[in-house]
Amino acid sequence: MATANSPTTTETDEPRIEGPITEFDRYGDKTGATYFRCSGCGVESINKKGITGEDGHEPCPCRK
């Protein structure tokens, strides 16, 4: 049984947009850039609108 403090995942959960995520270079130093990632399919974009399709481009595959 799930409690208020235990996370549950069901197939009806909609993918989330995670971020902003800090970008690091190959040496582990921050680049100063950030990006967003869809938790459902892993598509990354420099802004949330790039994942949802609000920027005029095709939305990520799990949001069609």
pLDDT tens column, 37-64: 999 999 999 999 999 999 998 999 988 7
The answer to whether position 9 is within a domain reads no
Report if residue 39 sits inside a domain: yes
Task: Judge if pTM exceeds 0.75.
Answer: no
Residue 58 in domain: yes
Residue 30 lies inside a defined structural domain of this protein: yes
Residue 32 lies in a domain: yes
Domain that holds residue 51: 17-63
Phi, psi (deg, nearest 5) at residue 62: -85, 0
User: Looking at the 3D structure of the chain, how many domains does it have?
Assistant: 1
Q: What is the pLDDT of residue 10?
A: 52
Average pLDDT, stretch 24-48?
95
